[in-house]
Amino acid sequence: MKKFKSAILATLITSLLTLGASQSVNASQQIVDTMSSQLRLNYQIVDNNAVNAGVDCAALGADWASCNKVTLTLKNTGPAITSKDWAIYFHNIRMILAVNNDQYKITHVTGDLHKLEPTEKFTNILANSQVTIPIIGEYWQISESDVMPRWYVTSTDANPKIIANTNTDSDNLSAFVAPLGEQWKISPNDHNILMTPESRYQRNSDIKKIAADLLQGQILPTPVKLTVGKETITLNQNGVNLMLNGLAQSSQSVLESHFKQLNIAVTKQGFNVKASIDKTAFEKGVNGSYKLDITSEGATIVAFDESGIFYAVESILSSIGKSSIINTLSVEDAPRFEYRGMMLDTGRNFKSKKAVLQLLDMMSKYKMNKFHFHLSDDEGWRIEIPGLPELTDFGSKRCHDLTEKQCLLPQLGSGPNSDNNGSGYFTRADYIEIVKYANARFIEVIPEIDMPAHARAAIMSMEVRYQRLMDQGKPNEANEYRLLDPSDTSNTTTVQFYNRQSYLNPCLDSSKKFADKVISEIAKMHVEAGQPISTWHFGGDEAKNIHFGNGYQDIHAAQKEAGKGLIDQSVEDHPWAKSPACQTFVKQGIVKNIEHLPSYFAVEVSKIIKNNGINRMQAWQDGVKFATNAKAFATDEVVVNFWDNLYWGGYDSVNEFANKGYKVIVSNPDYVYLDMPYEVNPKESGYYWASRFNDERKIFSFAPDNLPQNAETSFDRNGDGFAAKGTMNWPGAYGLSAQIWTENIRTDDKLAYMAYPRLLSVAERAWHKAEWETDYQKDREYQQGKTQYVDQQQLSNDWNHFANLIGQRELAKLDHASINYRLPVPGAKIEDGKLVANVVFPGLTIEYSTDKGENWQAYNGPVAVNGAVSIRSVSADNKRTSRVEQLK
């Protein structure tokens, strides 16, 4: 009987506890549901130079003593919020240094993820009222895209929910981000020009429309030699007959699809295009070389190799104007650089297979031949690896799981759920399809698995694997691919604000075994796709603790420097400094010191690469900076992406790597990072740590094989001129590569916006050396406004010609290919009561409105207007428009 009563009592207690827990969960969920639906959040950047407003940014520990003031407003549109059991998680690319409202605190979680929650002093948020929370953040925020979407509410055991007015993938964040107004400058020393309709009109003023008949027969990228005849052939009457002897059927099918995109049939009755390969017809023997002659009877191609045939036909496609007309012409052509590349980051935010294939197709049309595929980063692992399922089951997903057992923590505006591009990966079959697709277009796929830094997704995935196998009683298997030294207590902070879990430990055999496993599995995919790996990209960048950077100083230093942040550097460590395994390496003399470990690991991985039958290793240049030279590596060749800013000395430091035997791919962020903004305007998204803008004209004017020359044609980040000269010999660049990092490129459409039409300027400079590009001369100094080595008139004429080709021809072709490219905002001004307007790409339609966008009219020349006027440009197919701006 006692046992029976005890059982009843136990059941009753359990039921009561379960009921209590259920009620608690329900209460927590009600808090989340209420707050996420009735709160309206507003984020206002108040002052980007808070130090000039009396804030002691140095004392707050801000890098270079630079900080900003933000006002965060929480407007409550419903009943009073009295509970303290809640938190709002949000993404912020700036570290929060101070919160000036004692009822709230903000904690840094990891990366850009922060947590806002009430303190003990919190009372309530009254019904139909609002609270303001002044915040001090590091650096500055001069673009609306600096603010990330998907702020979300949590409470104990409840399912998190996104605050309604922050729930978007769009760059239009006006629902919760206040206009920046005058807060578009980095500092008072920022001399950039804000792009308004008036200033844009001035920038476009030297661009003149060229008559369409003068553009007939022109080819992009520009050939070495081109002679255009007067006869024309209309291709859409009978189509084309492709007789491409020596070209693989897969590549011929690509060309057929490109003709069909332009509504030109491929048929036996069409205009004959004959091709053959004859290496003896070319003195220099450069891959991709071709000769093309078009007469009224047909087109004849003689090529050095298969890719030469492909590029020759692409030149025919390029020359097609309106009404499918081509001219008779003669071409002799060869690429300038062996490496004409594009890097796409899919680690920060995933991009669909469709978007990748579209990018590859567009690269092939403009004769680009290297696709650098960044497949991993701190924020995500993006490729299936047989035998390591945790990499994709866990490492490809982001969600709100504070234990990080199910997924990585949210980053970069992905919010609490895995239903957006913060999550995703390529299956093995996807990747093989991508490589096949690239191979048919003569594009080499260069996979990158970034290490030893930027490796958090891999590291945390292997920790999940470790725990699973340990739970199964398999310690040997658990440690086989573990990437952390569990005894490492190093206190480090990465560039993206992660801790030591972002750095793969280079002193563990298991790290090398992991590298071998991943490289070998991806190599198998390439073999199956018919394109064995020729180049493996090691990564290697940014393996450092940012708190040892030049913008910080030790708070205990006897002599303090003005303009530097004060932090306690005595508690800071270099990566792996407190790893017993790495300390042993230093003691044994395997490395000179801890800071040399990234380059040591690069050498070790080069051996793995070589053992997998790959003879070329590629890396970001800082990953190999402590190696003696290129001969220290096991692979036959070592190639570096050189990504120093020119105005910070990159114009000369590039020579150090070239003179150590590395092949140099010019990849400078201040010119060819396509994630930088198009123009200086808070509405234009993009990071700007290297440059306030990288537009088509700046990229077109870039001299990649004489970096000092660019000091005569461009400015630094502050809009000021700078002097540059090379003090060493320069053997020449191996190639040119554009990069797209995707921290704030969350969608496929945004990727297209950022890539096109800038990619055309990159392709032009990678394929063709312009006459205004001067040859490198050691010790020759260039400077804007002081030297005159560059033929500026010729540069201007060339740009005008290029801009007209884009506006009058190429953008229409992008429309045919369903590319959501960026449409430029027109320039305009009111002059004597009349609207005058221009656009950077002549041929695009400009429209204006005098009734706030209710009705639009085509602009055909100066027109009398009254009151406010809105302007926009329209795509060639009339389906899309640019951002709308208003003349005041």
Q: What is the dihedral of CA 845, 849, 855, 857, to 10 degrees?
A: -40
DSSP state of 73: E
Alpha carbon distance 668, 267 (integer Å): 45
- Name residue, tokens 């697709």: 437
Token duo for residue 881: 């428009």
Kindly list the strands in the beta sheet with 129-138, ordered across the sheet, starting from the edge strand earlier in the chain: 39-47, 67-76, 129-138, 96-99
> Which of 632, 606, 627 shows the shortest CA–CA distance to 617?
606
Alpha carbon distance 420, 747 (integer Å): 9
Half-sphere CA count of 886, side-chain side, radius 13 A:
8
Report the DSSP pairing between strands 339-345 and 325-333. Answer: unpaired
Alpha carbon distance 259, 530 (integer Å): 25
- For 437, the 3-state DSSP assignment is helix
Alpha carbon distance 845, 878 (integer Å): 9
Alpha carbon distance 315, 365 (integer Å): 9
- For 16, the 3-state DSSP assignment is helix
- Name residue, tokens 């209460």: 27
Alpha carbon distance 441, 366 (integer Å): 11
Give the helix/strand (H/E) hosting 608: helix 597-611
Which residues partner with 844 through β-bridges? 842
Amino acid letter, 292: L
CB atoms within 10 A of CB 505: 24
- Name residue, tokens 């990072």: 673
The catalytic residue among 384, 390, 542, 572 is: 542
Token duo for residue 594: 């801890």
Alpha carbon distance 3, 12 (integer Å): 14
Give the helix/strand (H/E) hosting 225: strand 225-234
Alpha carbon distance 642, 622 (integer Å): 8
Q: b/e string for 706-736 if b means 16 or more Cβ within 10 A?
A: bbbbbbbbbbbbebebbebbbeeebeebbbb
Give alpha helix (H) positions in 612-728.
650-658, 669-672, 696-700
Q: How far is CA 485 from CA 488, 514, 594, 602, 679, in A?
A: 5, 14, 15, 19, 45
At residue 453's C-alpha, the angle toward residues 447 and 456, to 5°, is: 90
Alpha carbon distance 325, 588 (integer Å): 71
Cis peptide before 160 (omega within 30 of 0): no
Residue 3, judged by CB atoms within 10 A of its CB (0-12, 13-18, 19+), counts as exposed
> Which of 637, 357, 834 shows the shortest CA–CA distance to 629?
637
Alpha carbon distance 550, 564 (integer Å): 8
> Which of 606, 601, 608, 609 shows the shortest CA–CA distance to 581?
601
| Chain centroid offset of residue 115 CA | 26
| Chain centroid offset of residue 205 CA | 30
Residue 831, judged by CB atoms within 10 A of its CB (0-12, 13-18, 19+), counts as exposed
Q: Is 477 considered catalytic here? A: no
Q: What residues are annotated to the active site? A: 542
